[in-house]
Amino acid sequence: MPSEKITPPLWQRNLLFAVVCVAGAGAVISNLLKSDTMAAPKHQASRYEKPVFRTAVDFVDEAFAANWKKNGLEPTPPADELTQIRRLSLGLTGTIPSLQEIRALEAQPDGERIQWWLSHLFEDRRTSEYLAERFARAYVGVENGPFLIYRRRRFVSWLADEIEANRPYDKIVRSLITAEGLWTTNPEVNFVTVTVDQNEDKKGPNEVKLAARVTRAFLGVRIDCVQCHDDHLGEDWLQKDFHQLAAFFGKADMAISGIRETGKPYEFKYRRQREPVKVPTIVPFQPELLPERGRPRQRLAAWVTHSENRAFARATVNRVWALMFGRPLVEPVDEIPLKDSVENPYPPGLEILADDFIIHKFNLQRLIRVIAATRVFGLDSKMPADHPPPTLQHDKHWAAFPLSRLRPEQVAGSIIQSASLTAIDADSHILFQLNRSIQQGEFVKRYGDIGEDEFYIQGGTIPQRLLMMNGNLVHERIKNDLVTNAASRILATAPNDQKVVEATYLAVLSRRPSTEEAQYFVDALSQKGFLGRKAKQADLYWALINSTEFSWNH
């Protein structure tokens, strides 16, 4: 006899529904009552104006200025502070600043706002989580990997904790290369287990994949192209260079207690050889930096992160620069020459920033602060109206801030943030955070994720534009809802139409409108006609979100 479906009594279902409604209402109310004031960052911005900090910035500025003069280029003028703040927010948190944050920023003293903003961002969990995801793509890719022995979310969360604590970057990388134990209790182990192919019985971590990750992610060098044969395109890499590096991972194997070092040798059958041979552990360059004693992966980690292994510092500088500018100093981001040369010279600033990064013990936060303080980061992306526009030479030599299309998660994060007057951060109610995460994930899935190729330049597509114009994410952000919608709240609380337009521009584009823009939209709001003021305000929000300016880093 089939069992009957047991349905809870009506009063229980009604009670459950009421509890959910109350929780939702509480979340909304708590968000609305959230104070407009922000806690001051713990680190004072003034400390980053001292000579010891400014010296590194000045050296970078002088290097770029000399290069501009050499190439006969007049750089663009400085961008305004709000433009620079928007760049930093997009590059470090994946979203635009809130109106609340902009108001707090503008209350700070002139000359200290950029560093004050960075102090604020470094104490914001959104920064460490976003940077962790961006770095993780280089470390473990974007796929879910082998289900039973890989936990990507745990790995990214661990990496976010390390970045938030500002743990020296060399120590983070050492933890990844030498990781042992279970992938659940020791999340850094996932760097190793992601390479395991569960379809290959009794096969542990993939030494070839690990060697490729180490060289490209940590050293900015592509030698995985010679894993099958010697290079014949003018480089010096040999097949043995790659596999001797891979041999450092040969003894890493699976055990009941997770990843452990075993006595297993690494063997490989070289081209034109009949049988596999045992491959020694030898690094492809600067062998004098490799410790003579220790376990293979410990020795490799010490070599990779050695202060005299400048490839490590250069690769980190290049990746952080790419996150902040949308484009690396050296392209591709993971293919930096080991030596400076007349034929292929290093760009200005690379060696200076690498030196500073090494001297200050691989401090990621300091590296970001130095780059943000440079003249080149603060340049506008356009010339004044009475000057010719920037040329390809300006772009090549960093004489203008490079324009780059926002990544999918930056577009989604900015749309969601623009509809909230306060920052949707770790202090927001959990329901708001969950809603943001779900909506952002759905949007990125439809918009299209770039994947591992972080800085590949691609144009927009028609489906992407249609999603922006007609998608639910934008529609939900502009609908007439005074409780949860910034567009309606601005209209209801601003003292006049001039302030309505100004606040809307700040919330969506992180800037104030020009005189012409302000006048046009003030007139549109005040005119009587078929559309009411709420509908006109919704149209203004829609127009700004769908503007070209919104979708670009500039």
CA 346/CA 348 separation, integer angstroms: 7
Outline where 448-485 has alpha helix (H). Answer: 462-470, 472-478
340-365, pLDDT tens digit by residue?
A: 888 889 999 999 999 999 999 999 99
- Compare 4 and 117 and report the one with higher pLDDT: 117
**Distance (Å) of CA 533 to CA 357, 495, 519:** 53, 14, 16
pLDDT of residue 107: 93
CA 168/CA 362 separation, integer angstroms: 5
CA 423/CA 421 separation, integer angstroms: 7
Cβ proximity of 235 and 241 under 8 Å: no
Q: Which of 2-11, 64-73, 283-292, 543-552 has the lowest mean pLDDT?
A: 2-11
Q: Helix, strand or coil for residue 492?
A: helix
259-315, pLDDT tens digit by residue?
A: 999 888 888 888 777 788 899 999 999 999 999 999 999 999 999 999 999 999 999
Stretch 76-104: mean pLDDT, rounded?
A: 96
451 pLDDT above the threshold of 50: yes
pLDDT of residue 269: 84
User: Confidence class of residue 37 from pLDDT cuts 50, 70 and 90?
Assistant: low
User: At residue 375, what is the residue type?
Assistant: R
117 pLDDT above the threshold of 90: yes
Mean pLDDT of the chain: 86
- Compare 331 and 470 and report the one with higher pLDDT: 331
CA 477/CA 544 separation, integer angstroms: 12
* pLDDT winner (highest mean) among 2-16, 43-57, 477-491, 505-519: 505-519
221-273, pLDDT tens digit by residue?
A: 988 777 666 664 456 788 888 899 999 999 999 888 899 998 888 888 887 77
Tokens of 121: 């961002």
Stretch 414-432: mean pLDDT, rounded?
A: 82
User: Confidence class of residue 5 from pLDDT cuts 50, 70 and 90?
Assistant: very low
399 pLDDT above the threshold of 90: yes
Q: Which of 26-35, 194-203, 314-323 has the lowest mean pLDDT?
A: 26-35
188-204, pLDDT tens digit by residue?
A: 999 999 999 877 666 78
Q: What percent of the chain has pLDDT over 90?
A: 60
Q: What percent of the chain has pLDDT over 70?
A: 82
Q: Please tell me whether the overall predicted TM-score, pTM, comes out greater than 0.95 for this model.
A: no
Cβ proximity of 426 and 124 under 8 Å: yes
Q: Identify the bridge partners of residue 181 per DSSP, sorted by sequence position.
A: 259
Q: Where are the domains of the chain?
A: 15-37+405-450+458-553, 146-304
CA 241/CA 177 separation, integer angstroms: 18
169 pLDDT above the threshold of 90: yes
Cβ proximity of 239 and 227 under 8 Å: yes
119-130, pLDDT tens digit by residue?
A: 999 999 999 999
pLDDT of residue 403: 93
pLDDT of residue 3: 43
- The alpha carbon dihedral of 361, 366, 368, 371 has a sign of negative
Q: Which of 6-20, 372-386, 484-498 has the lowest mean pLDDT?
A: 6-20
Stretch 512-520: mean pLDDT, rounded?
A: 96
